[in-house]
Amino acid sequence: MNKKIRKIGIITGGGDCSGLNAVINGITKTAINKYGVEVVGFTRGYKGLYSNDFRDLGLKSVSGIMHEGGTILKSSNKDNLFHYPIKHPDGSVTYKDVSDDAIRNMKYLGIDALIVIGGDGTLTSARDFHRKGLPIVGVPKTIDNDLPATDVTFGYNTSLETITDAMDKIHTTAYSHDRVMVVEVMGRHSGWLALEGGLAGSADVILIPEIPYNLNSIVEKVRQRDAFGRNFSVIIVSEGAFEKDGDVVVREIVEDSADSVRLGGVGFVITQQLQKLIPEHEVRYTNLAYIQRGGITSQFDRSLGLLFGVNAVDLLMNGGTGRMVQLRGRKITSIPLEEVVGSGETGETSRGGGKRVDPEGQYVQAAKSIGISFGDQ
């Protein structure tokens, strides 16, 4: 056991998701009960680390939070302390490396190590802090399930439950009004949420970034269903889906964010296009948006989050710094942060990277076997 570590800091960075509080619970209780180590939580991600905004975490403060979505520490996806925006009185903005200020804050508080819970942007900064000599362990987080370094991330299962529930409700409205319903879900450049949510939610068409779609193929599927006497269709589309020879739909650019390109709106575009091509149907659009992030945490995400938290502390206390916990099969193991986010500067193209759906894989082939279209014919 590393007896030099007497106080641990926690941050939750990036977008919120269900299961974060389970991780915080697992870290805090393991640190206190098993190792006699104090725990401090920094609020609003790396911003709290820089502004010295924190709260002490004890057994009482993490009691009863397992089921809650979001994070009791709050979060931010805009604060890169190695490239931090400094706003000046004249309205101009310059960028500065303030990582040393954050490290000084930790030393002042007597914090010996940090556990960072987040996605690729948050973990990239964790890697960079580790390079400066800070003992760090990472915990993977994203509802998109697009981190290749772990079989699955917490938050994904809860999001799928939300999507499936929404699809069930939309299905009855589509049937009652003979409508074509387009449902847009998150996922960035990976189609896992749309694929698995569409399978469980009885979608007729699934559109994902990994399989560019042809609009005429979607129209053909709708008319095939009409001819079969099923005068309604439900289409689920990932926010990163795009038409053949086209490009993704960008909702906005957030300049001061590590993930500056925000996708969204492709479902609305498809709805407008389909309404002109199949005027015999009403075509309606629903974007599930941020409801996919919140709500009561599923049993799976509570368990996985808790296991990640417990194992993160064990890893840290046994000298495994500069690593991230991961799920491989049924076992929690770990991997160097350098292998998770790379060794250099990160950055995504418009169509991104990460763990993506295999168009020839079992999930897609099973969907095609039961008649689901991916708009690629």
Handedness of CA 23, 24, 25, 27 (dihedral sign): positive
3-state secondary structure of 38: strand
For helices 192-200 and 156-177, angle between their N-to-C axes, nearest 10 degrees: 50
| Residue owning tokens 């570590």 | 5
Q: How far apart are CA 166 and CA 202, in angstroms?
A: 11
Catalytic annotation, residues: 144
**Neighbour tally for 297: CB within 10 Å:** 27
Q: Are strands 323-328 and 93-96 parallel, antiparallel or unpaired?
A: unpaired
Helix axes 156-177, 299-317, angle to 10 degrees: 160
d(C-alpha 248, C-alpha 6), whole Å: 48
Name beta bridge partners: 185.
Answer: 238
User: What 3-state class would DSSP assign to 216?
Assistant: helix
DSSP state of 39: E
Q: Using an 8 Å Cβ cutoff, are 318 and 295 in contact?
A: no
Please, what's the largest Cα pairwise distance for the chain? 72
Strands 84-87 and 93-96, by their bridges, are antiparallel
The CA R_g of the chain, rounded to the nearest whole Å, is 22
